[in-house]
């Protein structure tokens, strides 16, 4: 649906930005099985969009390239879980609503699509219902929906630790011209963690960058995604994507999250767009998107 069409049909619109793990270090594992992570995260201009409209009864509709993928989700969709959880918290203020999800991001692809959708649902419904919650209460609701939802609620550059709930803003992180590419092959997150060679890896260290004395690209390059080696063993196309991005001049390439989306950072947006067009021509069956990430000072 064109942007103006969604805006005309739904009074409240929320962007669900793609979440990019610039770095992901697995530093331990809790007794309950959750892995402890150190992550440097930013968000892209591209993503899903949600529209909200008062309705006689609750309704949920889908569109977008990947909308059909979610058509059979029913009540398991994180957007609907977010609606129900927020309604439970606010009570009578929560009148029935029609929510439309324009699903532009591939599902289960390591760029936080479902989590970003849930966070956008929380933001959009609060606007539609004319209410707000204390920051701590809203963060608690977000965490109930998933470990990535609190950071997606922020949708700005940040460091996340623990299982993702310990968040620190990174106001100095610049915007990056970027290409995202995914071969549209599923990667099982539990399987990736199962194949992880070590679960007590060195923590993320960004001290030079946070002190303003280092180039951010150098700092990011010195970090890593501990989930990339096991994910490459499951989906060999991840290595292929990285090689294709590097061959076209990417300054840095890495996998995001548990995959299979990879990103390449480019010197200019024009270079990113040219690369995305070339990759799309070569692999039209993949998801390929040129985008720009938000800056910490936005």
What amino acid positions are annotated as catalytic residues? 19, 148
> CB-based burial of residue 113 (10 Å sphere; 0-12 exposed, 13-18 middle, 19+ buried)?
buried
DSSP result, 63-101:
ESTTGGGGTT-GGGSHHHHHHHHHHHHHGGG---EEEEE
The Cα–Cα gap between 145 and 149 comes to 7
Distance in angstroms (rounded) separating the CA atoms of residues 271 and 48: 24
Sign, CA dihedral 274-278-279-283, equals: positive
Residue 49: count of CB within 10 angstroms of its CB: 23
Residue 288 dihedral angles phi and psi, to the nearest 5°? -135, 130
């Amino acid at each position: 649906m064109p942007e103006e069409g969604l805006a005309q049909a739904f009074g409240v619109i929320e962007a669900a930005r793609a979440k990019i793990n610039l770095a992901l270090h697995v530093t331990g594992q809790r007794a309950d099985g959750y892995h402890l992570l150190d992550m440097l995260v930013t968000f892209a201009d591209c993503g899903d969009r949600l529209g909200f409209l008062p309705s006689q009864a609750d309704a949920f509709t889908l569109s977008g390239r990947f909308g059909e993928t979610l058509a059979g989700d029913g009540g398991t969709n994180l957007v609907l879980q977010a609606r129900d959880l927020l309604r439970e918290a606010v009570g009578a203020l929560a009148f029935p609503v029609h929510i439309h999800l324009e699903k532009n991001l591939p599902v289960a692809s390591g760029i936080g699509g479902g989590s970003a959708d849930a966070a956008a649902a929380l933001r959009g419904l609060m606007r539609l219902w004319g209410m707000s919650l204390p920051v701590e209460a809203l963060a608690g609701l977000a965490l109930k929906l998933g470990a990535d939802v609190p950071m997606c609620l922020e949708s700005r550059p940040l460091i996340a630790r623990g299982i993702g709930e310990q968040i620190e803003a990174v106001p100095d992180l610049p915007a990056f011209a970027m290409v995202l590419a995914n071969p549209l092959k599923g990667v099982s997150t539990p399987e990736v963690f199962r194949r992880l060679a070590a679960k007590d890896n060195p923590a993320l260290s960004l001290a030079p960058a946070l002190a303003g004395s280092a180039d951010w690209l150098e700092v990011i390059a010195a970090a890593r995604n501990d989930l990339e080696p096991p994910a490459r063993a499951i989906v060999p196309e991840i290595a292929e994507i990285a090689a294709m991005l590097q061959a076209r001049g990417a300054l840095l390439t890495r996998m995001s999250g548990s995959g299979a989306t990879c990103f390449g950072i480019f010197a200019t947006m024009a270079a990113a767009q040219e690369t995305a067009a070339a990759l799309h021509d070569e692999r039209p069956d993949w998801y390929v998107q040129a985008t720009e990430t938000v800056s910490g000072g936005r």
